[in-house]
C-alpha cells in the first residue's frame, strides 16, 4: 500500500509577504499568528506532517511570534485537542483557560475550545492533533495546560515515537495506530489514585516507553549502556534486561533505535544533514559502520533510501493550506 498523505509547508526562502500569507493560511483553523516583541518581525514557520486517518502528527518550526485564538475563531472552527511537544523554545501565556509557561521537553495540552493568547519564542516542536470526539468520555473539562512530570514524559515519548514512525505508515496501519493513540490518551488523561499511579510507573510498558525515550534523547552518547540507563530510570539492571528480553536485548534495541532514527530522518523533507553528520549525531562509530548497518537492516543504501523517499514524497505531498483546513473542518473522529 502507498504511504499516507504528507503535509509539507515550508516558508524558508519565500518573500515576507508570501511567507506570512502561507503560514497564516496553514494556521487559520487554529490560530492567528501575530508579530511579537520589539522587532515585530513578520511571523513565519514551517510544518511537515502526516495525516493518519482522524489524527495528524507534524514537526513544526517557527520564529518568535504571538499565537491568538479568539472566541470568534472558536465559534467557526472545531475544538480539537492540540498536544504540542516543545523540543526547543517555548512560550508563556493563556491556554486551556489558564496562564502557563512551557519549555523544552514539555507538552502543552491545548484545548481549542478555549481562547489562546501566547507569546512564543523561536521553537522546534511536534504537534499531535486529535479530534475531541475520538476521546469520548475522557475528562477534558478538567484538562490542565501541563501534565505532571511522569505523565508528561510518557506523552512526550508517545508523540516522538509516533512522529518517527509516521512516514512509514500505510492505510493498513491507520486503524490500529489511531486506536492505540486513543487508548493511550484516555488512560493518560484519566486521573488515578496514588497507589494505581505507582503501579503504572512500575509497569513494564511504562518502563519500556520511558527507556525508549531516554535512548532516543541520548543516541550519540558514549554512556548509553545498560548500567547508565538503569541509573537514569532508577530501576535495576535485572529489570531492564527483563523488560527488553522479548526485544532482543537492550543493546540490540539501542542499535535498532539508531537505525529507525536514521530512517525517520531520511524520510523527513525538513531534514538536511549529510549522511556522515547523521551517522555521528545518532551514535554510529563510523560512517562505514553506519552504511553497513543501514543496508543490512533495510536492504538498500542510505543514499538510495533518501532519494526514493524524496521522490515518493514529491508525489504525495499536500502543499495547499486548503488541505489541512478541509481536514480540520470535516474530520469528526467518529
- Residue 310: the pLDDT is 75
- Record the pTM: 0.83
b/e sequence 32-41, b meaning 16+ C-beta within 10 Å: bbeebeeeee
- Residue 202: the pLDDT is 60
Residue 247 · residue 253 · CB < 8 Å:
yes
Q: How far apart are CA 79 and CA 131, in angstroms?
A: 7
Q: How far apart are CA 154 and CA 98, in angstroms?
A: 23
- Residue 197: the pLDDT is 46
**Domain at 194-299, CATH class:** mainly alpha
Q: Along the 334 residues of the chain, how does pLDDT read in single tens digits?
A: 667 888 888 888 788 899 999 999 999 999 999 998 777 889 999 998 999 999 999 999 999 999 999 999 999 999 999 999 999 999 999 999 999 999 999 999 999 999 999 999 999 999 999 999 999 888 888 889 999 988 898 899 999 989 988 878 899 999 999 999 999 999 888 865 454 545 555 677 788 888 888 888 888 887 789 999 999 888 899 999 998 888 889 998 888 888 988 888 888 777 888 889 988 888 888 888 899 999 999 999 999 998 887 776 666 556 788 888 889 888 865 5
Q: How far apart are CA 307 and CA 312, in angstroms?
A: 9
In Å, what is the CA distance from 250 to each residue of 72, 198, 253? 52, 24, 5
Q: What are phi and psi of 5, to 5 degrees?
A: -60, 135
Superfamily of domain 1-191+319-334: Jelly Rolls (2.60.120.10)
Residue listed under C-alpha cell 502561507: 22
Partners of 51 in beta bridges: 56
Could you tell me which of 287, 270, 253, 271 has the C-alpha nearest to residue 8? 270
> Where in the chain does DSSP place strands (E)?
6-9, 32-34, 45-52, 55-62, 65-69, 81-88, 91-95, 98-102, 107-111, 116-120, 123-130, 317-318
Instruction: Give the cell for residue 220.
Output: 550519540
Could you tell me which of 53, 49, 79, 29 has the C-alpha nearest to residue 182? 53
> Strand 55-62 relative to strand 45-52: parallel, antiparallel, unpaired?
antiparallel
- Residue 136: the pLDDT is 86
Residues of the chain with CATH 2.60.120.10: 1-191+319-334
Residues of the chain with CATH 1.10.10.60: 194-299
Amino acid at each position: 500500500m502507498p504511504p499516507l498523505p504528507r503535509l509539507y509547508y515550508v516558508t524558508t526562502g519565500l518573500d515576507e509577504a508570501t511567507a506570512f500569507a502561507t503560514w497564516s493560511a496553514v494556521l487559520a483553523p487554529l490560530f492567528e499568528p501575530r508579530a511579537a516583541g520589539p522587532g515585530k518581525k513578520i511571523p513565519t514557520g514551517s510544518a511537515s506532517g502526516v495525516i493518519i486517518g482522524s489524527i495528524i502528527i507534524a514537526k513544526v518550526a517557527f520564529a518568535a511570534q504571538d499565537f491568538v485564538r479568539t472566541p470568534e475563531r472558536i465559534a467557526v472552527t472545531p475544538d480539537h485537542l492540540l498536544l504540542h511537544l516543545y523540543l526547543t523554545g517555548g512560550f508563556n501565556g493563556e491556554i486551556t483557560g489558564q496562564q502557563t509557561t512551557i519549555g523544552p521537553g514539555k507538552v502543552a495540552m491545548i484545548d481549542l475550545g478555549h481562547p489562546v493568547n501566547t507569546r512564543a519564542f523561536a521553537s522546534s516542536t511536534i504537534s499531535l492533533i486529535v479530534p475531541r470526539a475520538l476521546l469520548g468520555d475522557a475528562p477534558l473539562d478538567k484538562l490542565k495546560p501541563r501534565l505532571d512530570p511522569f505523565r508528561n514524559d510518557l506523552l512526550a515519548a508517545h508523540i516522538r515515537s509516533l512522529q518517527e514512525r509516521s512516514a512509514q505508515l500505510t492505510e493498513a496501519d491507520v486503524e490500529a495506530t489511531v486506536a492505540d493513540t486513543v487508548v493511550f490518551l484516555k488512560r493518560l488523561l484519566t486521573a488515578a489514585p496514588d497507589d494505581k499511579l505507582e503501579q503504572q510507573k512500575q509497569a513494564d510498558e511504562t518502563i519500556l516507553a520511558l527507556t525508549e525515550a531516554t535512548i532516543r534523547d541520548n543516541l550519540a552518547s558514549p554512556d548509553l549502556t545498560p548500567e547508565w540507563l538503569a541509573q537514569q530510570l532508577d530501576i535495576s539492571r535485572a529489570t531492564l534486561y527483563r523488560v527488553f528480553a522479548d526485544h532482543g536485548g537492550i543493546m540490540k534495541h539501542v542499535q535498532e533505535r539508531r537505525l529507525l532514527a536514521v530512517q525517520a530522518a531520511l524520510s523527513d523533507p525538513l531534514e538536511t544533514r549529510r549522511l556522515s553528520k547523521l551517522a555521528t549525531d545518532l551514535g554510529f562509530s563510523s560512517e562505514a559502520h553506519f552504511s553497513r548497518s543501514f543496508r543490512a537492516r533495510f536492504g538498500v543504501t542510505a543514499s538510495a533510501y533518501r532519494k526514493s523517499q524524496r521522490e515518493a514524497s514529491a508525489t504525495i505531498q499536500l502543499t495547499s493550506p486548503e488541505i489541512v483546513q478541509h481536514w480540520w473542518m470535516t474530520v469528526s473522529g467518529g
